[in-house]
Amino acid sequence: TLYAFGVASYDTTEDWERFFGFSKEMGIHTVTCEPKLEQLDFVESLAIKYKIEVAIHNHPDPSIYADPKVLEKALKGRNPIMGVCADIGHWKRTGNDPIESLKKFEGRIKVVHMKDLNEKMKDTTWGTGVLQVKEVLKELKRQKFSGLISVEYEDFGDSQLDDIKKSLEYFNQNSN
């Protein structure tokens, strides 16, 4: 079963329509994307039309959504089908507290891109870096989050598969 698809960004309404049509055809539940602010009304209308949740991703600069305040303002008053793809590593990279950002978007988090970062802001095995991964999991549990958590590594190395296995072990030990 396909659950989520993205991260997408398009310039034309035709491309957005094609993206949502394809996603509907594939049975996708949630699309992750970064629409321009002036496209939000149209993207919201497509989400409602196709009954597909939208998770707006928070890539770091130069993304307009790097600042959680921009994303919070963009979602204000919108249909609950519109929400957030919470990338906790990107929040940390942009100087935002991942826990406070998760709290800010309670009820709007559709997808989480989970990672941990070392002191140089490079990906590392969960629980070994500077992010509060255990606290992030506690906050998601407090919110009764039931969406998708993606294991995400921006930096690919030779040990990536081992790192993912260790991260999943960490998740299983700390998500109860």
pLDDT of amino acid 73: 96
According to DSSP, the residues that pair with 31 across neighbouring strands are 5, 54
pLDDT of residue 164: 85
Is 156's pLDDT higher than 70?
no
Three-class HEC string of 65-104: CCCHHHHHHHHCCCCCCEEEEEEHHHHHHCCCCHHHHHHH
Distance CA 90, CA 83 (A): 17
Q: Are 85 and 59 in contact, with CB atoms under 8 Å apart?
A: no
- pLDDT of 157 reads 66
- The dihedral built from the CA positions of residue 55, 61, 63 and 66, taken in this order, carries a sign that is positive
Handedness of CA 72, 59, 99, 119 (dihedral sign): negative
Find the helix packing angle between 40-50 and 13-25, rounded to 10°: 30
- Measured in whole angstroms, how far is the alpha carbon of residue 146 from the centre of its chain? 13
pLDDT at 152: 80
136 closest CA partner among 171, 164, 94:
171
Q: What is the pLDDT of residue 4?
A: 85
More confident residue, 79 or 59: 79
- Are the beta carbons of 55 and 30 closer than 8 angstroms? yes
Check: CB of residue 117 under 8 Å from CB of residue 123: yes
Give pLDDT tens digits for 84-125. Answer: 999 999 999 999 999 999 999 999 999 999 998 989 988 888
Q: Out of 3-12, 36-45, 128-137, give the one with best mean pLDDT.
A: 36-45
